[in-house]
Amino acid sequence: MRFLLLCSSLLLAHISLSEELDVDPRFEDSELKKTTREIELVDPEEIPADIRENLPSLVEKFQTERAAANNRFVLLPHRPNYVMPLTYQTKPSDEEWDRLLEGLSDGEFDGSNTEFDHVEAVFQISVKYILAEGLLGKYSSLEFGYTNRSFWQAYNKDISAPFRETNHEPELMLNWQPKHLSWLDLVGISLNHQSNGQTATLSRSWNRVIGYATNITEHGLWHYRVWWRIPETDDADPFDPRDNDNPDIDDYMGPGEIAYTHVMGNHHLTTTARNNFNFDENRGALQLEWSFPVSKRLRGYVHYFNGYGESLIDYNRYQERFGLGIQLSDWL
């Protein structure tokens, strides 16, 4: 169980660091002058050699998270963070915007000024905070994460370059290491809410309980997620906030997804797939990502998506997208 071996390599003894800090004279007599921290460090030599050799970024990630766990001022990357200034979508849709504006104008709106461009910018910001550790053993953690994915019509000056869609996804996660499942290195469960923060016909949201697991291999990382949607009413009146915004979203998003990140030197290739397993009306999605270093801190990023559920507003619309940009953090 590689993840367990990796984390069990944490030095058993705490290393106490007492250091004199250069502080403003005004705080000469305060507690800020001297800070004592206890940090559990990862000894790289105790990590399995194939992981050290083939997945050095994963080792560095665990070291960073262990050090950050004791600092309440630190936010950590959660999912990949990226900015794509240039993407091309094959089927932009302004149908829902036209529907909303027509309803608000008593049918007088003709829809002539809301056409979305094929080209837009897309970015994702995803962070997490470690709330507690050791709830289910030494290497377990309770974490809060937040992911924001935005679709920005940055070059569409005809309609004042609006944010076409923004998806907000807060979640509460409990992670632990299974001691008796050698093929899984990390398992967890989360309470997940996803919404686009809109109103009336534009509103989309759902709540899920998600179970997930990770398996570390010699050259990559498998990640599995299955979810159960928390039931809502079957009514779907878009102008009633108590009703279900998207009662059929499971038909398009399916019950889960599987992802694999393959590491080739400094290049990371990630494939993510999901399917609704309905052979009569089969729907799913495939996402391909390639990241590579362009500087010490930044990675080039190439993105391809094909299928349903790229964003909440388009969950039931087939979409294909090509994108180029910069990645700030990856799974590894």
* Catalytic residue ranges: 193, 195
Q: Which amino acid is at 142?
A: L
Closest CA to 67 of 47, 36, 33, 42: 42
Q: Which SS3 state, helix, strand or coil, does residue 48 take? A: coil
Report helix, strand and coil shares of the chain as percent, to nearest 5. 15, 45, 40
- Cα 266 to chain center, whole Å? 21
For residues 332 and 58, the answer to whether their CB atoms sit within 8 Å is yes
Distance in angstroms (rounded) separating the CA atoms of residues 244 and 137:
39
CA neighbor of 285 nearest in space, from 248, 313, 265, 258: 258
d(CA 62, CA 204): 35
| H or E, element range at 101 | helix 95-104
Q: How many separate helices (H) and strands (E) can be counted in the chain?
A: 5, 15
* Structural tokens at position 165: 């869609």
Cβ atoms < 10 Å from Cβ of 46: 13
Q: Give the list of residues 6+ apart from residue 132 with CB closer than 8 angstroms, or none.
A: 141, 142
Burial class (CB in 10 A: 0-12, 13-18, 19+), 216: buried
Q: How far apart are CA 270 and CA 253, in angstroms?
A: 19
Ramachandran sector of residue 53 (left: φ over 0; alpha: ψ -120 to 50; beta: rest): alpha
